[in-house]
Amino acid sequence: MTLRTLIVDDEAPARERLRNLLAENEFVELIGEAKDGAEAVDRIERLSPDLVLLDIQMPVLDGFEVIETLDAPPAIIFVTAYDEYAIRAFEVNALDYLLKPFSQERLERAIARAHEQLAAGREFASRIGPLLESLREEKRFLTRVAVRKAGRFLVVDVRDIDWMEAREGGVLLHVGAAEHAVSRTLTELETRLDPSLFFRAHRSIIVNLDRVKEIVPWFAGSHRLRLTTGAEVDLSRSRAKELREILGL
């Protein structure tokens, strides 16, 4: 079995180096390249590779954000020049990574290991959840979210999101006048967003704290939040107290 492999790196020399080093590799069939995170998401969805060599620091979406955008990420070997937090997260979760500049031997070993694991039918996706969890512990919060719009990807800075609500099969992001659907759960998003920026106001709602204008009393002791954009969203009774504390009311 050969691994259909995608190379993702924003630097042309780095991509070329990987291409050269892998040209003769018996396990690898190169099926394409991507030069930034959004392109990576697009190629992964269209080509569904077995293995991705994924650079971490990239424009538009970084390597981790690429993974978070994917519903079912393929096997991944992370590539980084220098990132102590990421490396700690990989170590903790026993994920393979390459440090630039890596040797041919090191690369071949990583590929062989990936091949072995894929041949044995070991799921890679199941190890991604804990990785994202460790990143949160390192205070690496989500800064951008990729959303699909008419067949292509649009990248939204999380600080531009006014509020988000759970919908059937995903979450609806409200960004100014626009609305974007993403296929993740609200709780998943909550665990990856910086709690100093976002607040779970209700079972089905997260608001951007920057947009909260006032807390309006509603029926029977419940409350609603009025946002600076004019929108009004539910605030559950149990969350109202915490919100007042956060806002210093």
Specify the residue for token string 């994202």.
Answer: 132
Decide if 41 contacts 61 (C-beta within 8 A).
yes
C-alpha triplet 198, 186, 230: angle, nearest 5°: 55
Q: Is 20 in the site for other proteins (CB under 8 A)?
A: yes
- 192 burial (CB, 10 Å; 0-12 / 13-18 / 19+) is buried
Q: Which of 26, 48, 59, 112 binds other proteins (CB under 8 A)?
A: 59
* Interaction between residue 65 and other proteins (CB under 8 A): no
Q: How far is the CB of 148 from other proteins (least distance, A)?
A: 16
Q: Is 228 in the site for other proteins (CB under 8 A)?
A: no
Q: Binding pattern to other proteins, positions 88-117, x when CB under 8 A?
A: -----------xxx----------------
Name the nearest CA neighbour of 69 among 176, 181, 235.
181
Q: Which stretch binds other proteins (CB under 8 A): 56-64, 88-96, 161-169, 199-207?
A: 56-64
Applying CB under 8 A, among 4, 11, 125, 141 the residue interacting with other proteins is: 11
Establish if 81 lies at the interface with other proteins (CB under 8 A).
yes
Q: Decide if residue 138 touches other proteins (CB under 8 A).
A: no
- Pick one of 65, 83, 162, 165: the residue that binds other proteins (CB under 8 A): 83
Burial class (CB in 10 A: 0-12, 13-18, 19+), 89: buried
The site for other proteins (CB under 8 A) is made up of 10-14, 16-17, 20, 35-36, 57-60, 81-83, 99-101, 155, 157, 159-160, 210
